[in-house]
Amino acid sequence: MSFNAYAARERGGALEPFDYDADPLGADDVEIEITHCGICHSDVHLVDDDWGISRYPLVPGHEIVGVVKAKGDDAEVEIGARVGVGWQRGSCGECEWCERDEENVCPDMRATCVDGYGGFADRIRIDGRFVLPIPERISSEAAGPLFCGGVTVFAPALRWMIDAKTKVGVVGVGGLGHLALQFSRAMGCETTAFSSTPAKEEEARGFGADRFVVSTDAGEMKSARNLVDFLLVTASADIDWRAHLAALRPNGVMCVVGAPPSPICLPAGAYHVGQKTVTGSAIGSPRAIRETLQFAADHGVRPQTELYPFEEADRALARTRANEARYRVVLGR
């Protein structure tokens, strides 16, 4: 069976129509007819091979929403169900991490657009363990970004036991960041947005920021010292790590989920003073995605989206690459 997708054929290449023959449907697999797919900055990194893991032709798209059209005998979803898929398409299913609902850190983690073709397409076949139903209250246009961007910012908040007493900072008001601000507000946290784009202030406050700091302004960063307990870095570009670590209060945690190009360089003393932790986080397990969807449904957390037809995938991706998206581009049909 032939699926119709959009692929980059080389590093940084334009997205062009690309048809491929789907693998046979395995016993655990699900076939989804895709209606929507969000564009994450990781799709840009993949098309540009920023991480040296890309394989071409590369079909991006890992915030996939659609309807189940077919399934193998062992797949636990229903034909006709509205479902989604995120960054992960597979894992070993047997290791200690898979067994305790931490498939996202399985050493054999398989990525939707690296170990197969992604969601800029009319259909996809994928392991049903990573296909999850969407709560009725969340529209198909809004659901996709919760499967990658949403869980990536919500899962670390659960892991680090963020509660209403935690002062939260979010670095980068993009696809991930604008969702993080909403989750943080819904959790009752005093929230500060750190952004390199002053024009985003009003909208950032609308998403949940009580305070807005221009992260490229040395004076503003100086006045933001000792401000937050948990700093979630979603920026896709290099930032002044030292100045951002200084925004942490004693015993604070900086959790990096963005993928800036350069190594994170900090002098040891920056960790010593105030005993700070610098850590990272990778997407979220299927269980964490379920929790993200439920929390978002219950608290009205939704991406602010710009809808483009699939045929304009290349133009749409360019908006994300140029930091022009406000705040998540979604392809839809």
State the residues that interact with Zn ion by CB under 5 A: 40, 42, 148
Span of 115-123, 241-249, 253-261, 298-306 interacting with ligand NAP by CB under 6 A: 253-261
Q: Among residues 175, 208, 286, 303, which is the contact residue for ligand NAP, using CB under 6 A?
A: 175
Q: Does 320 bind ligand NAP (CB under 6 A)?
A: yes
Span of 12-20, 220-228, 241-249, 278-286 interacting with ligand NAP by CB under 6 A: 278-286
235 contact choice in ligand NAP, Zn ion, none (CB below 5 to 8 Å, kind-dependent): ligand NAP
Q: Residue 191 — left, alpha, or beta (φ > 0 → left; ψ -120 to 50 → alpha)?
A: beta
Residue with the closest Cβ to Zn ion? 40
Q: Does 237 bind ligand NAP (CB under 6 A)?
A: yes
234 contact choice in ligand NAP, Zn ion, none (CB below 5 to 8 Å, kind-dependent): ligand NAP
270 contact choice in ligand NAP, Zn ion, none (CB below 5 to 8 Å, kind-dependent): none
Q: From the CB of 113, what's the least distance to ligand NAP, in Å?
A: 12
CA 288 to CA 291: how far, in whole Å?
A: 5
Q: Does 149 bind ligand NAP (CB under 6 A)?
A: yes
Pick the closer one to ligand NAP by CB: 125 or 200.
200
Please choose, from the candidates 45, 193, 157, 54, the residue with its C-alpha nearest in 3D space to the C-alpha of residue 114.
Answer: 54
Q: Among residues 132, 235, 246, 253, which is the contact residue for ligand NAP, using CB under 6 A?
A: 235
Residues 6+ apart with CB under 8 A from 130: 85, 86, 88, 89, 90, 103, 286
How many positions of this chain bind ligand NAP (CB under 6 A)?
31
3-state DSSP of the chain: CEEEEEEECCCCCCEEEEEEECCCCCCCEEEEEEEEEEECHHHHHHHCCCCCCCCCCECCCCCEEEEEEEECCCCCCCCCCEEEECCEEECCCCCHHHHCCCHHHCCCCEECCCCCCCCCECEEEEEHHHCEECCCCCCHHHHHHHHHHHHHHHHHHHHCCCCCCCEEEEECCCHHHHHHHHHHHHCCCEEEEEECCHHHHHHHHHHCCCEEEECCCHHHHHHCCCCEEEEEECCCCCCCHHHHHCCEEEEEEEEECCCCCCCCCCCHHHHHCCCCEEEECCCCCHHHHHHHHHHHHHHCCCCCEEEEEHHHHHHHHHHHHCCCCCCEEEEEC
Q: Among residues 42, 112, 191, 292, which is the contact residue for ligand NAP, using CB under 6 A?
A: 42
Pick the closer one to ligand NAP by CB: 217 or 312.
217
Pick the closer one to Zn ion by CB: 40 or 233.
40
Residue with the closest Cβ to ligand NAP? 174
Pick the closer one to Zn ion by CB: 66 or 284.
284
Q: Does 200 bind ligand NAP (CB under 6 A)?
A: yes
Q: Among residues 228, 283, 288, 301, which is the contact residue for ligand NAP, using CB under 6 A?
A: 283
Q: Does 91 bind ligand NAP (CB under 6 A)?
A: no
Q: Among residues 3, 28, 34, 45, which is the contact residue for ligand NAP, using CB under 6 A?
A: 45
**Contacting positions for ligand NAP (CB under 6 A):** 40-42, 45, 148-149, 152, 172-177, 195-197, 200, 234-237, 239, 257-259, 281-283, 320, 323, 325
